[in-house]
Structures are given as C-alpha cells and as structure tokens.
Amino acid sequence: MYDEILVPTDGSAGVEQALDHAVALASKFDARIHTIYVLQTPEMADTLEGDELGDILDRLDEAGRQAVEDVRRQARNAGLSDIETAVRRGVPEAEIRAYIDEQEIDLVVMATEGRTGSAREMLGSVTEEVVRSTSAPVLTVNVGEES
C-alpha cells in the first residue's frame, strides 16, 4: 500500500511524534522513509551582501542538515535502514510538493499544531498548503497542546 513515506521536518520536537507514526507504517509496509527540510531564505537576504549573507545561509543549511540527520538517526534507532534525506531552499510547501512528485511519495506524515480556531492555526500554514495541494494522502499528527 505504501512504498515511499515522507516526513517533512523543521527541526522541531513535534516531528518526532510524526516520525513515530511514519516508522510504524514503514515497518508494516516495508516502505522507505524520506525526510526533507526546506530552508526558506529570509526576507532580510535582500539587504545582506557577500560574506554576511553566505555565513547566514551556511548556518541555516547546517541546521537543515542536522534536522534531517536527526530524523535519519531516529528512524535507524527504530530499526529502519532505508531512509532518504533532502535539504532544499525555497518556499516550503512548494518544495515539499515538488519532492512528493519527484519521489512518487505514497504518504506524507506531518506534525500539526493543536489549537482552536481557523484551519491555518490548527494545521499550520505549510501543512495546510500541502494537504490542499497534493494528491498524495497526508496523515496529520497533532503535537500541540489544546487551548
């Protein structure tokens, strides 16, 4: 049923809960886990130049590499060995959608915020956009505290 499962990460603790669900499904269906971190270039980048911008982007890229490596390590600790990682720059929801298409992802597992209010507040804007714009099923995992 599922061969390719994507767990987008932003490096937050909530991703661990989403990964737990993805690992359980990957184990059941002998699926590969994918994880992606998308670095959204800060708006301030237009005001920075040369080395200053390069240093900031290097630090942000390193944070992304660390986030996907954390997911890889947790998945391996759970007994999985087939894990793909990606770090990209761009608009997170657009890069996640592109990755879904490129890698023929069967299921996306994303962490959400658990707040009352609009769908944007409940899901988070990136999760909401992915749910609305991809044909792949998206499992949302509530990791926030209800207010």
Q: Are 126 and 95 in contact (CB under 8 A)?
A: no
Q: Which domains does the chain carry? A: 4-142 (3.40.50.620)
Order of strands across the sheet that contains 83-89: 83-89, 32-39, 4-8, 107-112, 138-142
Label residues 33-72 b or e (16+ Cβ within 10 Å = b): bbbbbbbeeeeeeeeeeeeebeeebeebeeebeebbbbbb
Structure confidence at residue 48 as a pLDDT band (50, 70, 90): low
Amino acid at 81: S
pLDDT in tens, 114-142: 444 444 444 468 888 999 999 999 999 98
pLDDT in tens, 80-124: 999 999 999 988 999 999 999 999 999 999 998 644 444 444 446
Q: Which has the closest alpha carbon to 89: 48, 43, 38, 36?
A: 38
Report the pLDDT averaged over residues 52-70. Answer: 87
Per the model's pLDDT, the better-predicted residue between 109 and 45 turns out to be 109
